[in-house]
């Protein structure tokens, strides 16, 4: 148990925006080229814009989420704090802050760390992730009030414990998390250590 951190399950908030299930299609330079229904984009492997968020506490521990068993892909697997797609007409940073609040109840500033392209077939399905992924990082201390229809469980984990579990139990993690984690940890190592204040 981490002193000062609470994990609270809560029901899903209302999401009524009509284009919530559409993604922004992009070219290889991340220029928008249209939009597509999210599942269809993954079925066809169309290149689209996405974001991944990594939230750390002052102990440099990373907040992980376990995806709900009812998710249409990568169900029941551990992954980074939050990841999703901006809606058509929505900036990536605005989308990242919105989705972070919706999934985890966390409201904190985030900073874009880097952008990269990856393409991978999702294990056990015909879906393909083909994304220009904007990676955001942020720092947070406080309760995590997560949406229990999106997330089964959350936990803070240190670098060494995370790397050990990734080696011993790689099948417990999402494919994109395994692709990106080395880049994120290398980036974090270049940053100054934060104080506890």
Could you list the pLDDT tens digit for every one of the 197 residues in the chain? 344 567 666 555 433 344 468 999 999 999 999 999 999 999 999 999 999 999 999 888 999 999 998 887 888 999 999 999 999 999 999 999 999 999 999 999 999 999 999 999 887 788 999 999 999 999 999 999 999 989 999 999 998 899 999 999 999 999 899 999 888 888 777 666 655 54
Question: Which one of the listed residues 61, 103, 129, 131 is annotated catalytic?
Answer: 131
Tell me the Cα Rg of the chain: 16
Domain annotation for the chain: domains and CATH numbers: 7-189 (3.90.79.10)
Cα dist from 93 to 29, 49, 137, 152, whole Å: 18, 12, 11, 25
Q: Hey, which residues does 28 pair with through a beta bridge? A: none
The one catalytic residue in 83, 103, 150, 152 is 83
pLDDT given at position 39 = 92
pLDDT at 106: 97
- Check residue 191 and give its pLDDT: 61
Residue 83 among the catalytic residues: yes
Tell me the pLDDT tens digit for each residue of 17-34: 444 689 999 999 999 999
Pairing of strands 7-10, 144-147: parallel
Beta carbons of 75 and 153 less than 8 angstroms apart = no
Residue pair 132/141 in contact (Cβ under 8 Å)? The answer is no
What was the pLDDT predicted at 182? 86
- At residue 20, the pLDDT reads 60
């Amino acid at each position: 148990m981490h002193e000062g951190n609470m994990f609270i399950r809560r029901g899903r908030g209302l999401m009524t925006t009509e284009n919530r299930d559409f993604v922004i299609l992009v070219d290889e330079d991340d220029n928008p080229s249209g939009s597509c229904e999210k599942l269809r984009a993954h079925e066809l492997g169309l290149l689209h814009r996405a974001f991944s968020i990594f939230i750390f506490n002052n102990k440099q521990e990373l907040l992980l989420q376990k995806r709900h068993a009812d998710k249409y892909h990568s169900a029941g697997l551990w992954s980074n704090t939050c990841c999703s797609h901006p809606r058509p007409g929505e900036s990536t940073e605005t989308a990242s802050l919105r989705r972070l609040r919706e999934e985890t109840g966390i409201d904190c500033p985030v900073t874009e760390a880097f952008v990269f392209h990856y393409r991978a077939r999702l294990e056990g399905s015909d879906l393909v992730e083909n994304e220009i992924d904007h990676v955001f990082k942020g720092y947070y201390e406080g309760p995590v009030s997560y949406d229990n229809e999106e997330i089964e469980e959350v936990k803070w984990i240190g670098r060494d414990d995370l790397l050990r579990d990734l080696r011993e139990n790689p099948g417990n993690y999402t494919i994109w998390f395994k692709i990106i984690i080395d880049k994120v940890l290398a980036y974090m190592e270049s940053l100054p250590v934060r104080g506890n204040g």
